[in-house]
Structure 1
């Protein structure tokens, strides 16, 4: 990791502030003054700022209960963003692993570990996702078999992979998918002539949305949750 990135992540300072401190000879590596922001910091190197040792920055892993009306984006000119709800240093540098539509709610995973985010979202890893769905019209019983066989989506060459549909009431169902196509759940119901009016993600892989989180709240993932993906 570059020295300037190391300092920014471990101190919460901006890159501009870090650069100023480097030029002021307030940074040392292994007891020697260091001005080069591009110096590579290896495992075991000791970095100090104003003679205060800086702990090596560790990746952060969060789950959030995304509210309706909030977008999964780093920046948006008209709507609040998921990252804007996070009161942590450098939250704007974090990655949203598996996005939800603006009107969808529920589990969103957020991290600054790019490799972990890729594992959570890559189709190759076949991470299953569970959604609670409310539709505009009643869901026919034969939809269960159609989801299990795969559904041909508009403008797509191949049908979806088999998905599990569990009917909860006339207009409610739980859906488990094993891929992540664009607006997939909504488009699967649209292909059957129905419309999703509420979509709530309950889990991604073995990570289940914490019932104690109100909309807009978040918490750090446990070690077991992190390692499950």
Structure 2
């Protein structure tokens, strides 16, 4: 692996910052100063950055209880990323396996395993997501049937995939969908002339949000939980 990539993947520095540190002779491999970012390193090399031994971090998987006001992105200039909720030493190299809107709460998965996150988010894998939805108006009588048959979203050519709707009350429902179009849940209820006033994701596939996690809290997934979506 390229030395600059190895260091960026296993530290809080970007590759550009790593190159500057290399220029300042802050990087050594097997005791020798290395300034070439493309220098190849192996698992047996001893790599030091600013006097600290660097080791490859294994693949990591976290669940986070997202609060309102945070974005599942790293390039929003106006709002904080959900990554800001993680400890500094844990957030580097992670990305979101699926997103939630700014005002939506609930389960977000974070990982540095690209293949695993692809299985979670790819439409080909039909990974179901369950949401608890609070509505502005009482739900119409035939909502379950219409969602099962698919609804026409504004601006879309095709109907949504079949979705499962369970009534909790006249204005609170559980909705399970297997795709992730832009603002899909809100647009599905808009197609029924209703408005979502609050939205919370409870589960992704068979993996449910840990009830012990308060908003803004997170924990690593167990090996069994990783395998549920693997």
TM-score range, shorter chain: 0.7 to 0.9
Q: Deviation at 1:77?
A: 2.5
Please name the residue that 1:125 is paired with: 125
**Corresponding position: 1:47 with 2:54:** no
Q: Deviation at 1:99?
A: 0.9
Distance 1:203 1:144 in 2: 20
Distance 1:73 1:62 in 2: 16
Q: Deviation at 1:185?
A: 1.0
Deviations 1:147-198, CA, capped at 9 Å, x for gaps = 1111111111110111100011111110110111111111111101111111
Q: Deviation at 1:92?
A: 5.9
Counterparts of residues 48-87 of structure 1 (less than 5 Å) = 48-49=47-48, 53-87=53-87
Deviations 1:102-138, CA, capped at 9 Å, x for gaps = 1110011122222222221110111110000010001
Q: Deviation at 1:53?
A: 5.0
What SS does the corresponding residue of 1:225 show, helix, strand or coil? helix
Distance 1:5 1:136 in 2: 49
**Corresponding position: 1:185 with 2:185:** yes
Note the residue ranges of structure 2 that are not aligned, 5 or more in a row: none
Normalising by structure 2, report the TM-score.
Answer: 0.87
Distance 1:224 1:39, change over 3 A: farther
Greater mean alpha carbon deviation, residues 33-42 or residues 179-188: 33-42
Counterparts of residues 70-219 of structure 1 (less than 5 Å) = 70-89=70-89, 91=91, 93-219=93-219
Distance 1:169 1:36, change over 3 A: same
Q: How many residues get paired? A: 227
Note the residue ranges of structure 1 that are not aligned, 5 or more in a row: none
Distance 1:70 1:13 in 2: 23
Q: Deviation at 1:217?
A: 1.1
RMSD over aligned Cα, in angstroms? 2.4
Distance 1:52 1:86 in 2: 22
Normalising by structure 1, report the TM-score.
Answer: 0.87
Greater mean alpha carbon deviation, residues 113-122 or residues 164-173: 113-122
Maintained 8 Å contact 2:22/2:36: no
